[in-house]
Amino acid sequence: MTITAPTKSPKLHLSPLSRRSLAEDATSRLRRAIVAGELPAGSPLPEDGLAAQLGVSRVPIREALIELEQEGLIEFDHRGRSRVRDFSEEDFEPLFAMRSTLELMAARLVVQQITKEDIKELELMIREQECANDLTELSLLDVAFHARIIQAARNRPLTACWRTIRSQIEVWLAKSHREQAQRHLSSINLTVPGHQRLLADLCSGSEQKAEAAMKMEMATWREWLPE
């Protein structure tokens, strides 16, 4: 009986594929434009026009639009044309309920297992919020802070659920911050102290304190609901 040696796979020298990175970059740019209000609700998103503006082919633009639809930021009509989603109060209520449920669960988990590294990174994120250059940056840093709390909970199903609503939360929060500015209120002066108090209670060792602090955070966010 002859035993044939396994064929070795040839060693390839290939350049990294770039289409995916182009799609990711297009997704990031379009997402930020939507969060910032540069692409307001109802704005059409023609693939050819976006491709020309970003200097890419229509393929990564199409992939970016599909990703943004999955994140809940855009909609396709029956002809396949896309536009920025127009959120309503009915859209907000289930989003708020889901966010509250996830973050309260995270608070209870985090207080049991928060590490020095978690605390260090959360403190750094608060300092970054204090130095935010504009409301869009502040909004993204605000949501990133809460995403880091979710990460510190170390619960995969929780993290997966959070990812499905994160971009929508960014849109709502950025819109809320812009409305705060119109009423001459400082979003930084409201956001930073709230996060400092929340972090202190997450480090307290008390699930009751952590949960109460997160409930207060959610209640504040609920009051900022854009009209």
Residues 95 and 75 in one domain: no
Tell me the C-alpha distance between 77 and 97, whole Å.
Answer: 28
Q: Please, how many CA atoms are within 13 Å of residue 21, restricted to the half-sphere of its CB?
A: 3
Tell me the C-alpha distance between 7 and 33, whole Å.
Answer: 51
Residues 94 and 80 in one domain: no
Higher pLDDT, 131 or 225: 131
Tell me which of 86-90, 100-104, 209-213 is least confident: 86-90
**Residue 30 binned pLDDT confidence (cut-offs 50, 70, 90):** very high
Which residues span the domain enclosing 160? Answer: 89-223
Crossing angle of the two packed helices 47-54 and 58-70, in degrees rounded to 10: 110
Could you tell me if 65 and 23 are in contact, meaning their C-beta atoms sit under 8 angstroms apart? no
Which of 83, 100, 69, 102 lies closest to 168 in space, CA to CA? 69
Q: Is residue 206's pLDDT more than 80?
A: yes
Indicate whether 60 belongs to any domain. yes
Indicate whether 152 belongs to any domain. yes
Indicate whether 5 belongs to any domain. no
Residues 77 and 127 in one domain: no
Q: Which whole number is the average pLDDT over 36-65?
A: 95
Measure Cα distances from 149 to 31, 57, 79, 109, 140 in Å. Answer: 22, 38, 40, 10, 14
Indicate whether 1 belongs to any domain. no
**Residue 65 binned pLDDT confidence (cut-offs 50, 70, 90):** very high
Q: What is the mean pLDDT of the chain?
A: 89
Residues 112 and 187 in one domain: yes
A 10 A CB-CB count for 106 gives 25
End-of-domain residue from the set 84, 103, 134: 84
Indicate whether 50 belongs to any domain. yes
Tell me which of 13-22, 99-108, 215-224 is least confident: 13-22
Q: pLDDT digits over 121-180, tens only?
A: 999 999 999 999 999 999 999 999 999 999 999 999 999 999 999 999 999 999 888 888
Q: Domain containing 41 — which CATH number? A: 1.10.10.10
Number of domains observed in the structure of the chain: 2
φ, ψ (nearest 5 deg) of residue 27? -60, -45
Looking at residue 12, its pLDDT comes to 47
In terms of C-beta density within 10 A (0-12 exposed, 13-18 middle, 19 or more buried), how is residue 182 classed? exposed
Tell me the C-alpha distance between 52 and 56, whole Å.
Answer: 7
pTM (2 d.p.): 0.87
Higher pLDDT, 10 or 63: 63
Residues 111 and 207 in one domain: yes
**Residue 9 binned pLDDT confidence (cut-offs 50, 70, 90):** very low
